[in-house]
Amino acid sequence: MIEKNVRNYVAIAAAAAGLMVGQLALAKVIATDEFEEGSTRPVTLVVLPSQVELVKQRLLRQEAQVEESGELEAHLTAAVAEQFRVHGYEVTVIDASAIANDPTLQELVVDSNRRFSELLTNVGSKLGKSKNVRNREYNAGDEVKLLAARLGVDALAFARMTIIAPAAGVRALNFGMGGESSMLTVTIVDGTSGDVEAYITLPVGRRGRMFGGHDAIIENPAEEMANYAGGTLEELPNADPSLRVEASADEVILDLESLLE
């Protein structure tokens, strides 16, 4: 009986240690096998304008801080792009004014964002997303492929961040504990297949603790956004053009013509 209890304690301790080790890894990269091994890992990518939802949780309501979100979005987009560059990717950033000046590009960006948001809803509501990403169950459709083709890149990166900051009154009601949370996700969507190749987040336990909370973010947005992007993309595999597999259009057409004959 004692031996059984000891075994249980050892098992619990091992599980706890496992969890702690898991937590030590700063970011969580959920990716397809092909992305991991390199054949679908992009070399060139566009970071679309990021979207930040900054919500102040007041006593009576939650209040979207629209103006502050705008400032954070600019810093976050730049920070995410920089992290991709650090990992060897050829990155292009397109900003809202460039998009607004090109009606066709605007259509494609709006369509892609809408489709991606729909997909993110599906991803967000699903447990076991690792398996689904690996099985290529998340596809962002033709909209994303058209945009990637127009921009001439291998993939698109979508960055979405939510920051919930309790106001002083809410914190007081909560005995000064917690209530603050932040979450950044960066998703890489392949421009040829439309598949989600990688979905990268900070692990739950690190959100809003490892990095500065609302006040620090507002005080020093550039630095904090760089920290969040750096932490989230820390484990991103480096770009490696030698591993990527591509076929030219002419080659495909010739192959098919002979196959159909």
Partner 1 sequence: MRVFKNSLFPLVFSVLLVALPGCDAWAQGESEDDLKGVYGPLELRRSEPNDLIDTASQYNDMFARRSLLYGDSSVLELVRRIGHELAPEPTDAYINYEFYVVRDPSPNAFAFPNGQIYIHTGMLARMADESQLAALLGHEINHAAGHHTILSHRITAKRLAIQVLAGGLGGLMGQLRYSRHLEQEADDRAAFLLQDTPYDPHAITELLEILNEDFEGLDPRIATIWTTHPDPEERIEASRINVADLPSKPRDPDSFDAVVYPLRSLTVRDYIQDDYPYTAIAVAERFIDRYPEDLDFRMALGDAQRVLGPRPAALPEEFSKRDARRNLRDRIRRTRDQRMERLLETPEGIESMAMNLASARATYEGILEIDPGYAPAYRGLGDVYQAEGNDREAARAYLTYVREAPAADDRSVIMGRLTEIRNRLVEEGTDND
Residue 2 found at the interface with partner 1 (CB under 8 A)? no
Residue 154 found at the interface with partner 1 (CB under 8 A)? no
Stretch that binds partner 1, among 18-26, 197-205, 231-239, 252-260 (CB under 8 A): 252-260
Window 176-195: residues binding partner 1 (CB under 8 A): 178-179, 192-193
- Phi then psi dihedrals of residue 195, to 5 deg: -75, 145
Report CA-CA distances (Å) from 107 to 111, 140, 152, 158, 230.
6, 16, 16, 17, 31
Residue 173 found at the interface with partner 1 (CB under 8 A)? yes
Window 219-248: residues binding partner 1 (CB under 8 A): 247
Window 33-52: residues binding partner 1 (CB under 8 A): 49, 51
Residue 167 found at the interface with partner 1 (CB under 8 A)? no
Closest to partner 1 by CB, 5 vs 104, is: 104
Among the listed residues 62, 92, 130, 238, the single contact to partner 1 using CB under 8 A = 62
- What is the rounded CA–CA span in Å between residue 94 and residue 87? 19
Residue count, binding to partner 1 (CB under 8 A): 60
State the residue for tokens 């336990």.
Answer: 205
Among the listed residues 5, 66, 128, 242, the single contact to partner 1 using CB under 8 A = 66
Q: Compute the Cα dihedral for 105, 106, 109, 114 and give only its sign.
A: negative
SS3 43: coil
Strands 181-190 and 62-64: unpaired
Stretch that binds partner 1, among 12-20, 27-35, 36-44, 60-68 (CB under 8 A): 60-68
Stretch that binds partner 1, among 23-31, 34-42, 137-145, 228-236 (CB under 8 A): 137-145
Judge residue 58's burial from the number of C-beta atoms within 10 Å of its C-beta, 0-12 exposed, 13-18 middle, 19 or more buried: middle
Amino acid at 60: L
Smallest gap from residue 99 Cβ to partner 1 (A): 5
- What is the rounded CA–CA span in Å between residue 15 and residue 261? 60
SS3 19: helix
SS3 171: helix
Smallest gap from residue 81 Cβ to partner 1 (A): 16
Among the listed residues 1, 3, 21, 257, the single contact to partner 1 using CB under 8 A = 257
Which of 51-54's residues contact partners 24+ apart within 8 Å by CB, and which partners? Answer: 51/113, 51/159, 51/160, 51/161, 52/76, 52/160, 52/161, 52/162, 52/163, 53/161, 53/162, 53/163, 54/163, 54/165, 54/214
Smallest gap from residue 193 Cβ to partner 1 (A): 7
Which residues make up the interface to partner 1 (CB under 8 A)?
Answer: 49, 51, 55, 59-64, 66-67, 69-70, 73, 96, 99-100, 103, 106-107, 109-111, 113-115, 118-119, 121-122, 125-126, 137-139, 141-143, 145-146, 148-150, 170, 173-175, 178-179, 192-193, 247, 249, 252-253, 255-257, 259-260
